[in-house]
Chain A
Amino acid sequence: MPGFLQEHLRPLAGSAGLHLALLVVLAGVALRWTSSQPPVELAIEGYVVDAPPAVSRPIAQQRSTPPVTEPPPAAEQVKPPEPVKEPAPERRAEEAAAAERAAQADRERREAAERATRERDARLAQEKAAVEARRAEEAEAKRKQAAEDAARRKAQADEAKRKADEQAQAQREAKARSEREAELQRALAAEEDAAAVARSGVMDEYRALLVQTIERNWMRPPSARAGLQCTLYVSQAPGGTVTDVRLGPCNGDQAVRESITTAVYRASPLPAPRDPRAFERRLEIVFKPTE
């Protein structure tokens, strides 16, 4: 390996030197060239000057690219214009004039260089400002983004909460509804049950049985005539035992009231229905003789 390095160091160094020289020339040309170019491209020069890694790049390129012996076509164009224009000094006056011209040119060069520096500084400042502006913009954008993100997150959270609340509410409503439904269904079922009992005729039978029993026990007084209408609200225990008799509206006399109340009590215990479902704890008994 060291042998290989010693053996190839010279051409390698030569090649590198050549490249470097070429790069410097190119940079010089580019500098002059770019004086009329927009300042933005100046940034590229900075890269070249400040970037030592550029050395290694040609090395890496060497293996896949053609040999360095081939001069780049750009090298022929890079000719400093001044040596071509400058005439050879022949006299002192001419020398003095030439010196004067040289000084003038020098001044001009300096001024140009200063101008370029100023311009560059200005451009740099501008660039810096632009960068800072961009950074500020970016920061602003970031802040904005963050705010937006936060807002979005909050909105999302709110939305989620709202959704959750809504869902909970919906669930509560659904539960209440289903409870209501269930209750009504139960009522319906009970009603249907009652209806079924009614349809089966058991209810009518029960009613008839009760009416018959009470009529048999009603010792109707002579004052109980057609036109009489008296209501009793009667409660019975499951066994049919009359537990309470309350007099409702009644246009009958004392004797009638006594007789109907007595009739219900003396009919106790009241008969049971054939189907227990037909049993009704509370009875509304209306006494209204037809003649």
Chain B
Amino acid sequence: MQSIRAALRPRAALLLAAGALLLVAGPSQAQLRLDITQGVRDAVPIAVVPFGGQAEGAATDVAAVIANDLRMSGRFAPLERRDLASRPTSGAEIRYEDWRLLRSDFIVVGRVEPDGSGLAVSFELHNVRTGASLLAQRLPSSERGLRATAHRIAELVFERLTGIPGAFSTRIAYVAVDGRPPAQRYRLVVADADGYNPRTILESREPIMSPAWSPDGQNLAYVSFEGKTSAIYVQRLASGERRRVSARSGINGAPAWSPDGRRLALTLSRDGNLDLYTLELATQTLTRVTNDDAIDTEPEWSKDGRSLYFTSDRAGNAQVYRVALDAGRTAERVTFTNAYNARPRLSPDGKELAIVTLDRGGYRIGVMELATRNLRVLTDARQDESPSFAPNGAMVIYATRDKGRGSLAIVSADGSFQQRLSSDQGDVRDPAWQPFPPRG
């Protein structure tokens, strides 16, 4: 007995210890642990149900505008309208099972109602998988403002589901060219980010180039050859008022606004070849930044406003450099990956540059992370140019050529989604995305 007990004891103790361990480690021990390190970039399926209070074929189909914004972002795949299971207009009417069967993850419902002399739009966002209500708001609107209200709703939904602000209420500027040489017509156009509501703010028989938004989104600087030679103009959108800020001999090109909006960086050839200058708008004070035999052009301000990124062929072919605005600083090269890198545009967070890069035989849009110099190529066409970040940094708009005709396209900043903006406006080029309006 004693010997058996003695013999048992160590094993029993061991077992007890094991039992104690089991107890201590309890919850995690009883569970199967999974590590998820990747996801898909697939578009999130979402149903945007036609809003109540709107007749079929209404001038502004709120749900259609929202669905299109979400689709254009590349991050969402709105359900086709003909596939909608039912047409709830409030959260209480949603039967989640139906939408799960349609493999929708989220659903947007709402209605347009008269509100005093105007309108109000109520909407709700629900998670079909969990049944949770994620958003429910009522926005004042009007017949004319219905489209803007729809963009705003799309922004709210986008932000709630992606974690980044939507940019559907912002606008884009671009240059449209109609006709064939020598009878061409150039137009400077400002439109909603989805391409709707195009408005021509300048029309000319001479080339218009390089529109650039002021930091407050209220002014556009651009190059116009309307006087047969190049000159830089600044035009106030609201009033249409404009003024010529640089018409020096030779080339006046590539204007870029400083972060504080008080200066322009530009390219001038008045001293022989193309070099970079800054121009104090209020005082017309011109400061030379580079002095090199090569071509220095396409300046872009750093986020702190103390240096410029630009394109130069000083190394033989085009590369992006950076130069500090303090006197006597020499430019340092920024891009190394490909044989051609040009037209730098800074991301809203100041951490990345969108560039045109010669990649596997094609001029494509790339985004280079400044800290690591990692370059990711976002597009795969042969003649992409003029990238410009959306103000939320999530997308890049750029110009591409399709059968000899220029058009605009949007690519997500990670390259996973591309979408051509349809345009019936002939040859379209030089897009620039409006910054967010200043807060407060």
Contact = CB atoms under 8 A, between A and B. Distances in A.
A289 B36 CA distance: 7
Given A188-B15, A262-B129, A255 B36 contact: no
A219 B35 contact: no
Which residue among A222, A254, A255 has the maximum number of chain B CB atoms within 10 Å of its CB? A222
B36 A215 contact: yes
Interface residues of B, number: 40
A185 B421 CA distance: 69
B32 A283 contact: yes
B134 interface: yes
Interface string B112-129: 000000000000000101
B84 interface: no
Given A255-B160, A262-B105, A220 B39 contact: yes
B12 interface: yes
A66 to B, nearest CB: 75
Interface string A200-219: 00000011001100111111
Interface in B23-43: 28, 30-43
Interface in B142-166: 159-164
Given A211-B35, A265-B130, A266-B129, A256 B18 contact: no
Contacts of A222: 75, 162-164, 394, 413-414
Interface in B293-321: none
A221 interface: yes
Interface in A233-291: 233, 245, 253-256, 258-263, 265-266, 280, 282-290
Given A188-B15, A285-B36, A170 B1 contact: yes
B8 A177 contact: yes
Contacts of B413: 222
A177 B16 CA distance: 11
Contacts of B19: 184, 187
B31 A288 contact: no
Contact of B36 (A177, A185, A214, A223): A214
Q: What is the predominant secondary structure among interface residues of chain A facing chain B?
A: helix
Given A262-B129, A265-B130, A282 B31 contact: yes
A181 interface: yes
B242 to A, nearest CB: 37
B32 A280 contact: yes
Contact of A284 (B16, B34, B37): B34
B414 to A, nearest CB: 7
Contacts of A107: none
B5 to A, nearest CB: 8
A286 B32 CA distance: 11
B31 A219 contact: no
Contacts of B32: 206-207, 210, 280, 282-284
B44 interface: yes
B127 A258 contact: yes
B36 A287 contact: yes
B31 A263 contact: no
B162 A255 contact: yes
Interface string A89-121: 000000000000000000000000000000000
Contacts of A280: 30-32
A5 to B, nearest CB: 81
Interface in B139-190: 159-164
Nearest to B394: A222
A198 to B, nearest CB: 11
B12 A211 contact: no
B22 interface: yes
A289 B32 CA distance: 19
A289 B38 contact: yes
B163 A254 contact: yes
Interface residues of A, number: 47
B163 A184 contact: no
Interface string B395-434: 0000000000000000001100000000000000000000
Contacts of B31: 233, 280, 282-284
A199 interface: no
B31 to A, nearest CB: 4
B162 A223 contact: yes
Contacts of B35: 211, 286, 288
A214 B34 contact: yes
B38 A220 contact: yes
B40 A220 contact: yes
B18 A223 contact: no
A180 interface: yes
Contact of B164 (A180, A223, A233, A290): A223
A227 B203 CA distance: 50
B38 A255 contact: no
Contacts of B42: 219
Give the interface centre of B19, B38, B161 by most chain A CB atoms within 10 Å. Answer: B38
A185 B15 CA distance: 8
A185 B16 CA distance: 11
Contacts of A218: 36, 38-40
A258 B161 contact: yes
Contacts of A285: 33-34, 36
A53 B437 CA distance: 152
Contacts of B15: 180-181, 184-185, 187-188
Contacts of B159: 255
A261 B40 CA distance: 15
Contacts of A219: 39-44, 105
Nearest to B412: A222
Interface centre among B8, B36, B42 (most CB of A within 10 A): B36
Nearest to B76: A219
B30 A282 contact: yes
Q: Which 10 A-B pairs have the closest CB atoms?
A: A220-B39, A255-B163, A223-B163, A218-B39, A265-B129, A280-B32, A184-B15, A284-B31, A253-B163, A282-B31
13 contacts: A180-B15, A206-B32, A215-B37, A218-B39, A224-B39, A253-B163, A258-B127, A259-B161, A261-B127, A262-B129, A262-B130, A284-B34, A286-B35
